[in-house]
């Protein structure tokens, strides 16, 4: 494990990078950047999925609100007079 200056995250001063002392520096760097790219793709997919889920939740909420408004604005009984009270 080695500590390097963190250029990606402004809050963290250093980041830990795992290195294998049995391999060459190029192989360590290649593994590091492949892992970094994989994490960036994963983060992008996660953000896209969360935006999609949020849109679906908003649509469902609007549909429910519309349904409640329509149901509450329709009369629950007919305005006919009750025969029992008509004389």
Q: Which residue has the tokens 């590091």?
A: 32
Q: Is the pLDDT of residue 77 over 70?
A: no
Task: Spell out the domain ranges in the chain.
Answer: 24-62
Report the pLDDT value the prediction gives residue 40, as an integer from 0 to 100: 94
Distance CA 2, CA 12 (A): 15
Determine the length of the chain.
Answer: 87
pTM for the full model? 0.56
Mean pLDDT for the chain overall: 83
């Amino acid at each position: 494990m080695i500590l390097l200056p963190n250029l990606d995250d402004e809050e963290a001063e250093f980041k830990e990078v795992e290195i294998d002392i049995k391999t060459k520096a190029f192989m360590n760097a290649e593994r590091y950047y492949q892992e970094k790219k994989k994490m960036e793709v994963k983060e992008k997919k996660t953000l896209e999925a969360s935006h999609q889920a949020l849109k679906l939740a908003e649509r469902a909420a609007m549909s429910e609100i519309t349904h409640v408004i329509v149901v509450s604005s329709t009369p629950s009984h007919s305005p006919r007079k009750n025969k029992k009270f008509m004389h």
